[in-house]
Chains A and B, each alone.
Chain A
Amino acid sequence: MSSTVRDPAASPLRRALALLGPLRDADLVVVAAALGLTGVGLVAIHSAKAASLAAQGLPATLYTGRQAVAAAIGVVVMLVATLVDYRRFRPFVPFAYLGTVLLLVLVLTPLGTSVRGSQRWITLLGQQIQPSELMKIALLLGLAMLFHETEGVPGLGRTLLAVGLTLLPMGLVFAQPDLGTSITYLFLTGVVLLVSGTRVRWLLLIAVSGIGAFLAALRTDLIRDYQLERLTVFLGADAPDADLTGALFQTRQSMIAIGSGGTYGKGLLEGTQTALSFVPDNHTDFVFTVIGEELGFVGAASVLALFAVLLWRALRIASQALDRDAMIVAAGIGGVLVIQAFVNVGMTVGLMPVTGLPLPFLSYGGTSLISWLGMTGLLLNVHLRSRQGLIGGRW
């Protein structure tokens, strides 16, 4: 145990290394899965962009490089989120929530940046960030804190407050418009309510009223035409006269790219549909098509397996968590991860309508990657505390 004995004569470097000591107990499976997914994402983004960038005379690694920088930042964020005891975060959670909501409001002002009709980004300290991704963490932490204080079954007041805390950012994100992400918040809250012990009949009631609200929104101008078209076209996609050049084009091309990969794929950087950009946005929301085409069923299933591993660890960590809020955070991360992956991959294989939603860890986009690596850090954090709780260590 000599390494844990503090030596006053130790160099500053040694002390700094000592800070990392708790990492000995880190859940290496989670680390490996998260970094593995990030790595696959970098490769896929590179493959998606290399050919078209080269054709434009730009360096082939332009996007890959940017994403690698985001990954590096993400790893630092993950370390910090792991090492700082989550219980120390608690006082700051309300401010984080309110601050992110404020960013969401600012996105809608002229300060926000718009791409193809969607105003989702804001420039902060010279960096373009997507607050709706950060909001996912802020909302999760906020809800966890809300239910942390409860004994047993949460009361009606807290439940309604949770719904309110969700609807506020949902509305703001929906206004960008970003239907996919705002619905993710809804799923996130659903997961939190489920694991925090909310009565089943209330859960059902909330679900029913949510669906009712959505149907009502269809009758108003709240849902935009193209969003509705994507949904209705999707439902009739198999009709023989379906217009494959319009709203279904992307889904169709995406399915062709993935399907043409076959069992073993065409090989890295060998994807024809990928290289020729037949699938629009194949470095961001449709990055899974690159994996499907170039790595085949084997590669695509492996990515799903990595998501399944993270889910399994997240739920295991949740069940071993020392605190209620920690349990909620861990379960929420696992649940949202799988739901978001399902909505995204489902869209690329024609199981779900097209909504703008990145694939966790893999899609190009710094904010998304950093926030998912940050959430991984939180997961490791919860795990570390429970390990230390059990073995009596402390920090």
Chain B
Amino acid sequence: MTRALNVPDPQDRTTVLRLAFLGGLAVLLLAALLARLWFLQVLAGDRFAALADSTRLRTVVSAAPRGHVLASDGRELVRNRPALALVADRQRLVDDAGRPRDDESERVVGRLAVLLGLEVDDVLGRINDRRYSPFRPVPVAIDVPEEVLLSVRQNQELFRGIGTDTIPVREYPEGDLAAHLVGYLGQVSREELADPAFAEYRGGDLVGRGGLEQAYESDLRGRGGQQVLVVNRRGAVIDVQSDRAPVPGLDLVTWLDLDLQREVEAALAEGIVASRSILRSDGRLLPSTAGSAVVLDARTGGVRALASFPSYDPREFVGGVSVAYWERVNDPAEYQPLTNRPIAGQYPPGSVFKVASGAAMLEAGLVGPATRVGCPAAYTAADVTFRNWNPVGEGPMDLATALKRSCDTYFYDLSFRLWQQEQRQDEPDEVLQAVARRFGFGGRLGIDLPGEQAGVVPSREWRQEFWLRYREGYCDRAETAEPGSLARELLVDLCRFGGLWRGGDAVNLSIGQGDMLATPLQVAAAYQAIANDGVLMRPTVGRELRDAEGTLVRTIEPEPLGDLGLGAAELAAIRDGLERVVMEPGGTAVGAFAGFPLDAVPVAGKTGTAERDPRVPYAWFAAYAPADAPEVVVVVSVEEGGGGSQTAAPIARRILEHVFGIERTTEVGFVPGPEILD
């Protein structure tokens, strides 16, 4: 047995102790690793798994082609076209602070600014537009000339980080036709992106603003495609994990008749401009600042044409609207061209409202269709005198004649009597207001366009609330007004009794004045109901939705909103009155329709001249035709356009001529009617 001489067996105790110490240290180190692994893999494993996905997966979104907007005959009102665009790789060009990442990037941005004729800061601002995802190329310039695109493509070494792309943009084959109906597209805002309703949107996405683009956003938009790519450390694409093709948006087929729309816009614009040279009886020219025209299908409520003057050009909004243009279309001095007046303009309806108040008097049982009521030049109730538009007194007349002559005092008398009845009731039934609402006034009709206003049908309750809201202001102003003045007397009265629904209020309401407000669309709907045997339809622009192949996806059915609740005799009396307005000598619109082939196309209508002191009255004309078998309803209103017969009726006449294919019966586009301020 050979043994090494100098080593004890087993190892001496010190050595064993030291080996044990070494072992202990080593075990500690391994234990530390084990604990760390436990934390990373077991405790935080899910978080790291998510992180792994986020480093490995890239989501690339492709926009779906937006649906087109078509006229009822299938002609395109809005479509898409590919636009040439310069796009920038933000991550490559700028740092987190938005400054050029390096000298080369700075030079690229500088060259781009020169090429586009912009300031360097503007170019940087576009590259840094935070509405765009950093993972998508940011459009820097849309609709760039071909040669600019070529110089970027051919000199890529000078424009590193800048690429070219084609981006689908909206195209309007009909130009600015039906601009208010169409609306425009804008980029989704940061506030909207935070809203759950916009969960499907990403920064840089376009969203419909105004008009049909907004109302049918969810149908027109389609669904964007999404590709989830697997990338490696260098960002190279290794695999496609999922691929969802974009679903194009649906095409919207509308009720619109583009030729009619063009004619309506021209008739409105030319009529308004021409009316500005009319000298009023007080020696001043008509201002005629703005106006609306509505053409509805009499049976369905479908919108055949809808025009608002002044208008704007939706093409200015393609690729982002300029600040100057945006300010101009919202400028009160320019009469806010962006406002869609037929649905958003609220005016006193004046005499066109008399169809509703007449129906109310019949319903209240104050008169029958044949009952005659006096039509004096003035009517005095509760010590206040209310004048008829006609300073010459007229004899007693029935409802139809009162409509034909637009006799104010007829309605004053009945309305005051109705008010007196109501005052004796514990809970006044307010028949006039109830009937007005049945005609579609005082509430949104629910047209498929954004921005519709409700108008006002003043009632006792409404008056009370209104007064409570503004009483302090009246009282304060009464304090400061000159003692003894009429203004002070009025303000003191308003301060004390402004919440009361008084006889004068009822009298004013009966002729569509006072606090009553209506949109041109509401007036059109009311006359549509009369023309449609008393059934009020919801005015609708959209008719059908079709997919990109043209297959019908959904029909937007015409929707009855309610019935006027009039008996046949009552409705016939009203329609008789409206026909005589246009077709019987002495009717307020007879002058405006002189020479119109009424034998072939009988027209029923109503003029209105709504006062809004201190302004020049607002002109109204509401009509349907043919009177015996109505097909269309036409409503025209002109702000500060003077008498309805004077300005609005001639415009409506021209529209009707187009609808019924009547050769222009007047030499020029607009011949003013007689100045009847009914």
Find out whether the CB atom of B7 lies under 8 angstroms from the CB atom of A259: no
Are the C-beta atoms of A307 and B30 separated by less than 8 Å?
A: yes
Q: Select which of A149, A258, A259, A349 is within 8 A of B47 by beta carbon.
A: A259
- Residues of B close to A342: CB separation below 8 A: 29-30, 32-33
Is there contact, CB below 8 Å, between B37 and A301?
A: yes
Contact A349-B37, Cβ < 8 Å, known A278-B56, A308-B27 = yes
Smallest CB separation, B183 vs chain A (Å): 44
B497 within 8 Å of A (CB atoms): no
Kindly identify, within residues 31 to 66 of chain A, every residue whose CB is under 8 Å from any CB belonging to chain B. Answer: 55
CB of B26 within 8 A of CB of A195, answer no
The interface residues of chain A lying within 8 Å CB-to-CB of B3 are 322, 389
B233 at the interface (CB under 8 A from A): yes
Nearest chain B CB to A163 CB, angstrom units = 18
Asked if A259 and B232 make an inter-chain contact with CB atoms under 8 angstroms apart, the answer reads: no
Most buried by B among A148, A334, A338: A338
Binds B, one of A111-119, A123-131, A313-321, A370-378: A313-321
Interface residues as binary, B314-346 with A (CB distance below 8 Å gives 1, 0 otherwise):
000000000000000000000000000000000
* Structural contact, B41 and A338, CB atoms closer than 8 A: no
Give complex CA distance A257, B55 in Å. 10
Option from B11, B40, B56 in Cβ contact (under 8 Å) with A255 = B40
The answer for the CA separation of A55 and B237 in the assembled complex, in Å, is: 12
Q: Which of B11-43 contact A (CB under 8 A)?
A: 11, 14-16, 18-23, 26-27, 29-30, 32-34, 36-38, 40-42
A318 touches B52 (CB 8 A): no
Residues of chain B lying within 8 A (CB to CB) of residue A300: 37, 41
Asked if A338 meets B26 with Cβ closer than 8 Å, knowing A262-B45, A272-B52, A319-B16, the reply is yes
Total interface residues on B, CB under 8 Å, equals 46
Which residue of chain A has its CB nearest to the CB of B48?
A259
- CA A300 – CA B37 in complex, angstroms? 8
Q: Chain B contacts of A334 at CB under 8 A? A: 22-23, 26
Q: Are A259 and B33 in contact (CB under 8 A)?
A: no
Q: B487 within 8 Å of A by Cβ? A: no
Report whether A261 and B45 are in contact in the complex, using a CB–CB cutoff of 8 Å: yes
Pairwise interchain contact A304-B56, C-beta atoms closer than 8 A: no
Determine whether B230 belongs to the interface, using a CB cutoff of 8 Å to chain A: yes
B46 within 8 Å of A (CB atoms): yes
> Is A263 a contact of B41 with CB atoms below 8 Å?
yes
Query: Are A277 and B41 also in contact (CB < 8 A) when A257-B52, A260-B48, A322-B9 are?
Result: no
Asked whether any CB of chain A lies closer than 8 Å to the CB of B281, the reply is: no
In the complex, which of the residues A256, A280, A322 has the most CB atoms of chain B within 10 Å of its own CB atom? A256
Cα distance, A194 to B9, chains bound together (Å)? 19
Q: Looking at the complex, which one of A261, A319, A324 makes contact with B10 (CB distance below 8 Å)? A: A319
Contact for A276 among B15, B40, B56, CB less than 8 A: B56
Residue A259 contacts which of B1, B40, B238 (CB distance < 8 angstroms)? Answer: B40
- Asked whether any CB of chain B lies closer than 8 Å to the CB of A292, the reply is yes
Distance to closest chain A CB from B53 (angstroms):
8
Q: Does B6 contact A (CB under 8 A)?
A: yes
Asked whether any CB of chain A lies closer than 8 Å to the CB of B199, the reply is no
Report the minimum CB–CB distance from B359 to chain A (whole Å).
72
Q: Which residues of A contact B45 (CB under 8 A)?
A: 259-263, 297
Known: A256-B48, A321-B7, A324-B6. A194 touches B22 (CB 8 A): yes
Known: A339-B29, A346-B33. A319 touches B11 (CB 8 A): yes
Cβ proximity bits A279-304 to B, threshold 8 Å, 1 near / 0 not: 01000000000001000110011001
Assembled-state Cα–Cα distance A297/B49 (Å): 13
CA distance A351 to B47 in the complex (A): 18
Q: Is A151 an interface residue (CB 8 A)?
A: yes
Is residue B194 contacting chain A, with contact meaning CB distance below 8 A?
A: no
User: What residue of chain B has the Cβ atom nearest to residue A324's Cβ?
Assistant: B7
For A55, A259, A350, the residue with the greatest tally of chain B CB atoms inside 10 Å of its CB is: A259
Known contacts A194-B22, A197-B14, A262-B41; is A323 also within 8 Å of B7 by CB? yes
Q: Could you tell me the distance in whole angstroms from the C-beta of A29 to the nearest C-beta in chain B?
A: 16
Q: A259-B41, A259-B45, A260-B45 are in contact. Are A278 and B7 (CB under 8 A)?
A: no
Do B233 and A276 have beta carbons less than 8 Å apart?
Answer: yes
Within 8 A of B (CB), among A14-44: none
Complex partner residue of B233 from A277, A312, A349, CB under 8 angstroms: A277
DSSP class of B's interface residues: helix, strand, loop or mixed? Answer: helix
CB distance from B114 to the nearest CB of A (A): 32
B231 located at the interface, meaning its Cβ lies under 8 Å from any Cβ of chain A in the complex: yes
* B38 contacts across to A, CB distance below 8 A: 297
Q: When chains A and B are docked, how far (Å) is the Cα of A334 from the Cα of B11?
A: 17
| Residue A253, interface by CB 8 Å | yes
Bound together, the chains give a CA A334 to CA B24 distance in angstroms of: 12
Q: B residues 230-269 with Cβ under 8 Å of A?
A: 230-233, 238
Instruction: Say if the beta carbon of B4 comes within 8 Å of chain A.
Output: yes
Chain A residue nearest to B16 (CB atoms) is A319
Tell me whether A331 and B22 are in contact (CB under 8 A): yes
Answer whether residue B385 sits at the interface, using C-beta atoms and an 8 A cutoff.
no
Say yes or no for B118: interface residue by CB 8 A criterion.
Answer: no
Residues of B within 8 A of A78 (CB): none
B150 at the interface (CB under 8 A from A): no
Question: With an 8 A cutoff between CB atoms, is A345 at the interface?
Answer: yes
Cα distance A252–B96 when bound, in Å? 21
Contact of A278 among B27, B32, B232 (CB under 8 A): B232
Bound CA–CA A296/B290 (angstroms): 74
A226 CB to nearest B CB, Å: 19
- Interface residue B51 (Cβ < 8 Å from any Cβ of A): yes
> Chain A residues near B51 (CB, 8 Å)?
256, 259-260
Q: Is the CB of A262 within 8 A of B42?
A: yes
Query: B2 near A: Cβ within 8 Å?
Result: yes
- Asked whether, in the complex, the Cβ of A278 is within 8 Å of the Cβ of B55, the reply is yes
Complex Cα distance, B19 from A311, in Å, reads: 11
Docked pose: A102 CA to B11 CA in angstroms: 35
* A273 to B2 Cα, complex, angstroms: 57
Contact B11 A318 (CB under 8 A): yes
**From B22, B29, B55, contact of A315 by CB (8 A):** B22
B144 contacts the other chain (CB 8 A):
no
B6 close to A151 (CB less than 8 A): yes
A191: CB under 8 A from chain B? yes
A104 contacts the other chain (Cβ, under 8 Å)? Answer: no
Q: Is B116 an interface residue (CB 8 A)?
A: no
Bound complex: CA of A272 vs CA of B6, how far in Å? 57
> Is A12 an interface residue when CB atoms closer than 8 A count as contact?
no
A315 near B238 with CB under 8 A, answer no
A109 CB → nearest B CB, Å: 35
B44 at interface (Cβ–Cβ under 8 A)? yes
Q: Which of A58-80 contact B (CB under 8 A)?
A: none
- The one of B1, B15, B55 that contacts A256, using a Cβ cutoff of 8 Å: B55
Contacts of B19 in A (CB 8 A): 195, 315, 318-319, 331
Contacts A195-B19, A262-B41, A319-B16; A338 near B56 (Cβ below 8 A): no
In the bound complex, CA of A46 to CA of B14 (Å):
45
Taking a contact as CB atoms closer than 8 A, the residue among B10, B21, B29, B34 that contacts A194 in the complex is B21
Beyond A300-B37, A346-B33, whether A195 also contacts B230 by CB under 8 A is no
- Nearest Cβ on chain B to A384's Cβ, whole angstroms: 14
The answer to whether A392 has its CB under 8 Å from any CB of chain B is yes
- Contact partners of B231 in chain A: CB under 8 A: 276
Residues on A with C-beta less than 8 A from B44 are 259
B11 in complex: contacting residue of A148, A321, A345, A350, CB < 8 Å: A321
Cα separation A327 to B1 with both chains bound (whole Å): 20
Q: How far is A308 from B233 in the complex, measured between Cα atoms in Å? A: 34
Whether A280 touches B233, Cβ cut-off 8 Å, given contacts A194-B22, A321-B11, A342-B30, is yes
Nearest neighbor of A351 in chain B, beta-carbon distance: B36
A276-B238 contact given A256-B52, A262-B49, A334-B22, CB 8 Å threshold: yes
Q: Could you give 15 example pairs across A and B, Cβ below 8 Å?
A: A197-B14, A259-B41, A259-B51, A260-B52, A261-B41, A276-B230, A311-B27, A315-B23, A324-B6, A324-B7, A327-B15, A338-B29, A341-B30, A351-B36, A389-B9
For the A-B complex with A195-B22, A260-B51, A276-B232 known, give 12 more contacts whose Cβ atoms are closer than 8 Å.
Answer: A194-B18, A195-B18, A256-B55, A259-B49, A277-B232, A300-B37, A308-B27, A315-B19, A321-B7, A322-B3, A331-B22, A349-B37
